[in-house]
Structure formats: C-alpha cells, structure tokens
Amino acid sequence: MSYPQYDPSWPPSPGTPEPVSAAAYGPVAQPVGYPPPPGYGYAPGYAAYPASRPTNGLAIASLVCSLVGLFFCPVLVSVIGAILGHIGRGQVRDRGESGDGLALSGIIIGWVGVGLWVIGIAVYFLFIAAMLATVPASTDYPTTYPS
C-alpha cells in the first residue's frame, strides 16, 4: 500500500479544489464480521419489514355496498353487502388474508340498513292505517252535486 507524497503547497489556497484520488488510498476494508451473521440485523437484498397480507376483495366490496345501501337502493344493496361480507369472512379464514374486520363491518352495517328500512316501511304503513282510521265511516256526504 502506497501513501500519497507530502505536498508542500498544503494547505491549498482558498478557491482551489483539492484533487482526490481513491486509488491513492487503496481498497476499502470491510468491518470485522461483515456481512452480519444470520438473525442479526438485515441481510443484504431483503426488505426491512415483512410484506403485509393481501386484503380480501369481497370484504372491501361488502363494506362499500353496505355503506352505499344506507342511502341509495337501500334494501337490495344492503343485502348484497351483508352477503358479500359473509362470503368474504369465509375466504379470509380459508386463505389467511386480512380484511376480517372489514367483512364484519359490512355484515353489521348491511343488516342494520335492512332493519332500518323495514322499520321505516312499517312506520309508513302504520301512519297510513292511522290516517284511514280517523276518516269518518258515515256517508253523510252528498253523492250528487247541486247543479
């Protein structure tokens, strides 16, 4: 290994760049114990953290359908969302995917949406029945109009 020769012009005058040559210093030595032993740190070429599991598509679709079903096409879309949630939970268990919470949320929101709309329709018909019950049953009204 050769060392650079002494340069009497050192330090350089201000404004002049200093030439640097990597060959003048020789090869760079690796630290002791490089690469690290298995199980210590990260091996070269590997990610720093494990890849996440994929999320089940039916679980996402279940939650979206159930939320949309609360406001638009309520009964049909909410039922579809709840059914997709049941299927999605089964796939999550079978395939080891993530998304069980999304599927469960889709099931709950879907069936709650269906229940709210059924209650709303029942209240509507009860209101109509109450209104019809207040109409007098007598026929005191003239059947012909005076001309």
Q: Is residue 17, in this structure, part of any structural domain at all?
A: no
Q: Give the number of domains in the chain.
A: 1
Q: Is residue 79, in this structure, part of any structural domain at all?
A: yes
| 8 Å CB contact between 33 and 77 | no
Q: Is residue 67, in this structure, part of any structural domain at all?
A: yes
Q: Is residue 94, in this structure, part of any structural domain at all?
A: yes
Q: Is residue 119, in this structure, part of any structural domain at all?
A: yes
Domain of residue 91, residue span = 57-133
Q: Which of 103, 107, 92, 105 is nearest to 53 (CA)?
A: 92
- The per-residue pLDDT for 35 is 60
Q: Is residue 74, in this structure, part of any structural domain at all?
A: yes
Query: Which two tokens mark 12?
Result: 């350089």
Instruction: Kindly report, residue by residue over 51-95, the tens digit of the pLDDT.
Output: 788 999 999 999 999 999 988 888 899 999 999 999 999 999 999
Q: Is residue 116, in this structure, part of any structural domain at all?
A: yes
Q: Which of 5-9, 26-30, 98-102 has the highest mean pLDDT?
A: 98-102
Q: Is residue 32, in this structure, part of any structural domain at all?
A: no
- The per-residue pLDDT for 82 is 96
pTM, entire model: 0.59
What is the rounded average pLDDT of the residues 106-131? Answer: 94
Instruction: Kindly report, residue by residue over 22-43, the tens digit of the pLDDT.
Output: 666 666 665 665 665 565 555 5
